[in-house]
Amino acid sequence: MFAEMAEERATPREWILNAGYEYRFELDPGASLAIKHVTGQASTEYISEETAMPAYANLHLALEAMRVRALSHAQGSDELERTPPYDGDSESAEPPRILILGPPNSGKTSVAKILINYAVRAGQDWCPFLINVDPSEGGPMLPGTVSASPISAPLQTSTPAHTLGSSSTSAPTHVSSNSLLPLVYWYGHEGTKRNGLLLDRLIRNLGENVWDRLEDDPQGRASGVIVDTPASLSASGTSGDHRQALIKACVDAFRVNVILVVGHEKLNVEMQRTYGSRMTVVKIPKSGGVVELDALYRSRIHKYQMHSYFYGERFSVPPGMPSLNTGSTNTGYIIGGEQNTDLALSPSSTIISFSDLTIYRIGEETMAPTSALPIGATRVVSEMQPLLVDPAQPGSGLYNAVLALLAPPNPDESERYDEEILDLHVVGFIVVTAIDIPNKRMTVLAPSQGSLAGRIVILGSFEWQE
């Protein structure tokens, strides 16, 4: 039995869910809803064919068996002999490294989240990596990024700004206990076709970093990897070469051994043909609860994500639910094992000189992909060439632009290389709010105070205005 209370309604309503039923809700912007589990169990007896959860739960059990086998194998324990193998392959002791594919609005992100949360709730100290290579979504960071986050606690699910958990913030006094510390690269665009080569390289960078990180961590390695992908990797409207190249980049970079295809028969057949001989390809059903998100909703979420990055988020508990405050701190509520960040941040608006920042964009602003060039033609500027952006040029594209602040390059000059900035991860973001060309100055909004002098930033195609 669940008690539900929406913000505009002071009296709770009770719902009795039969076994195999799923409780679904949709909220208007700004509305919030509290759900209290009153009686019964929310793990579930799976008997209904109405929901996709039985398939997801069975899948989780199979993945869990793979993790246990992999860890046992790594520890050289005889547990290996006793753990049932996945798909009958008695030789395999590989942990699950899963690529989730599916058309737009098929519920890929939700499946990724469900599988990650099942894993970390299993009580086995798993810490799987959640990889987000969908730049239109932003994962735990901002749209335009791709990221890898080790997940050790259930992902926050209560805010549309961070559907894949919140990363730690600039707040000086507080880092919530389960905030993520993702490794982030800046692709800078929403669509994967805009610069496929760059996205390919960033995916491979993420992979290398994940394996470096896992090298001395058998528990982490056994926990596996879950990769959430953009819909364009599965959409029929996208060119086959582009899709296949990015799928291959993911398969190679994250050593994928399980491909999950969410509710798409043709794609399942295609993946079976391409990868079926060397890994498990499984089609899983699309949940009937998935909501079709339109472009307007997505652009509203992008704005909300940007606002939350700079100003934090306030989480409003519907009135009449005082018990939810139990266990709260000044900065967050702990509800159902999830920490809901409730932070007001204070960004800083600073005037800086043009010369403080070195600003790049990657490739020309308008550039057809290499594959679209006539056969034999080469271009002068490559898609991956960092090009300096001059703020003094009218039309530089900097006004209201979101700029990714990069980690410093290698201090050893002899280790530097031309395209090094493509391989530097992101440490934060700033937005240009005013440009004063005569005085060679600009105003930038940054999450915290601190000098930006000497920093390298990259311009993409994202803009934001308060």
Ligand X SMILES: Nc1ncnc2c1ncn2[C@@H]1O[C@H](COP(=O)(O)OP(=O)(O)OP(=O)(O)O)[C@@H](O)[C@H]1O
Binding site for ligand X (CB under 6 A): 22, 24, 102, 104-110, 134, 231, 287, 289-291, 293
Return the CA Rg of the chain: 23
Q: Tell me the CA distances in angstroms from 92 to 72, 158, 228, one per residue in order.
A: 12, 38, 24
Please state, in angstroms and rounded to a whole number, the distance separating the CA atoms of residues 444 and 42: 47
CB-closest chain residue to ligand X: 289
Could you give the count of Cα atoms lying within 13 Å of 233 in the half-sphere of its Cβ? 31
Q: What is the dihedral of CA 374, 380, 383, 388, to 10 degrees?
A: -160
Please state, in angstroms and rounded to a whole number, the distance separating the CA atoms of residues 139 and 160: 10
Q: How far is the CB of 7 from ligand X (least distance, A)?
A: 18
**Residue pair 194/242 in contact by the 8 Å Cβ criterion:** no
Please state, in angstroms and rounded to a whole number, the distance separating the CA atoms of residues 108 and 272: 18
Considering beta carbons, is residue 106 or 145 the nearer one to ligand X? 106
106 appears as a binding residue in the annotation: yes
Q: How far is the CB of 267 from ligand X (least distance, A)?
A: 13
Considering beta carbons, is residue 170 or 287 the nearer one to ligand X? 287
Q: How far is the CB of 26 from ligand X (least distance, A)?
A: 7
Considering beta carbons, is residue 108 or 425 the nearer one to ligand X? 108
263 appears as a binding residue in the annotation: no
Q: How far is the CB of 426 from ligand X (least distance, A)?
A: 21
Considering beta carbons, is residue 50 or 89 the nearer one to ligand X? 50
Q: How far is the CB of 186 from ligand X (least distance, A)?
A: 19
Q: What is the bridge-based pairing of β-strands 357-362 and 455-463?
A: parallel
Q: What is the three-class DSSP state of 149?
A: strand
Please state, in angstroms and rounded to a whole number, the distance separating the CA atoms of residues 318 and 135: 32
**Residue pair 177/341 in contact by the 8 Å Cβ criterion:** no
22 appears as a binding residue in the annotation: yes
Considering beta carbons, is residue 158 or 433 the nearer one to ligand X? 158
110 appears as a binding residue in the annotation: yes
Amino acid, res. 308 = S
Considering beta carbons, is residue 104 or 369 the nearer one to ligand X? 104
Q: How far is the CB of 101 from ligand X (least distance, A)?
A: 10
348 appears as a binding residue in the annotation: no
Q: What is the dihedral of CA 296, 297, 299, 303, to 10 degrees?
A: 130
| Known binding residues for ATP | 22, 105-110
Query: Which residues define the annotated binding site?
Result: 22, 105-110
